[in-house]
Chain A
Amino acid sequence: MSAERRTSSRLVRASIATALLGIATCFPLLIEETPYTFVLFMFVAQPLLVAAFLLFTVKVFRDLRSGHLL
């Protein structure tokens, strides 16, 4: 596997893991709203979901660049 492919694969796995963590930290708030679950959602879940999206975006841009589409 080429280094580029390995990096791409790592990015995919990292974005899946980050998205899973982000979604998992949304669950406590959806099950029961307390000040703590709200803080968890605001300051942990949302940044994790944004991070997952950014990692995925980087992966997409890399793919487009390697295919000379950008």
Chain B
Amino acid sequence: MRLSAAALFVAAILLPAAAFAAGDPAVIPRPHGWIGTTEEWARALGIAFAILDVLILAAAYRSHRRTGESPASKQLLFVAIAVLPVGVVFFSYFHALEASKTVESCNACHVMAPFVNDLRNPKSDTLAAVHFKNRYIQENHCYTCHSDYGMFGTVHAKWEGLGHIYRKTTGRYTMPIRINTPFSNLRCLNCHATSQKFLDPAKHPKEDLPAMFSGKTSCIDCHGPAHPAPETRASR
């Protein structure tokens, strides 16, 4: 009896999760045995846990109404209120933090559309578009250049992201959108500093390197613009 209940529980979670994780048929052929990414599975498990929690809450409510408090209704309540929500929150965070790195997430605010349209324009020669069309960055193109590296870089980026959402929601921003702090060279150098192209003295003389590493000379000054000029961006 207990075994069948456990099997039912596992099936209730895994079957919808597998269905959600499978998602849309991929345009690019996937490797043999492809079952989705970790992020897709986290999202799918989150949805499965949430559905299961709603069902258990409904069962607990029904049981409570019919028979009053019973050990069974208390157990159901404990699972639905203290256990499953932890899973839902965990998978929601996992999904949200991963999904918030994508270009689509940045593009969800219409003020970002000129930047993203330029990024995806194969005819554009801005730094962002060059990185995008040549796949210098594999994915999460906005996030990769606009977050510092390491654990606290990620935390800082998320914190700033919340600030962006607040300003967007309350309308506390001015057009055209501009970066609020100077772009750090370290974000470029993290990828480029050890490349032969960068180390070629004909392109970057050795005596100029300290100024680049300290940020006195900005990469953007010579290699920009990173994005379309402010006057070409749409107004609010």
Contact = CB atoms under 8 A, between A and B. Distances in A.
Given A23-B57, A56-B77, 12 more contacts: A9-B68, A12-B69, A23-B54, A29-B92, A30-B46, A35-B161, A35-B168, A38-B100, A41-B92, A42-B162, A45-B89, A53-B85
A2 B203 CA distance: 85
Range, interface on chain B: 35 or more
Range, interface on chain A: 20 to 34
13 contacts: A12-B69, A16-B64, A19-B80, A22-B85, A23-B54, A23-B85, A30-B50, A35-B109, A35-B164, A35-B169, A36-B169, A53-B82, A56-B77
Interface string A1-40: 0000000110011011001101110110111011110110
Contacts of B92: 26, 29-30, 41, 45
B85 A52 contact: yes
Interface of B: 43, 46-47, 50, 53-54, 57, 60-61, 64, 68-69, 77-78, 80-82, 85, 88-89, 91-92, 95-96, 99-100, 105, 108-109, 161-162, 164-165, 168-169
Contacts of A31: 47
Contacts, number: 92
A35 B106 CA distance: 8
A33 B143 CA distance: 15
B85 A34 contact: no
A12 B67 CA distance: 13
B165 A35 contact: yes
B64 A26 contact: no
Contact of A33 (B47, B89, B95, B162): B95
A15 B64 CA distance: 12
A33 B103 CA distance: 12
B85 A49 contact: yes
From A16, A20, A38, A41, residue with most partner B Cβ within 10 Å: A38
A26 B80 contact: no
A33 to B, nearest CB: 3
Interface in A28-68: 29-31, 33-36, 38-39, 41-42, 45-46, 49, 52-53, 56
Contact of B54 (A9, A20, A45): A20
B50 A19 contact: no
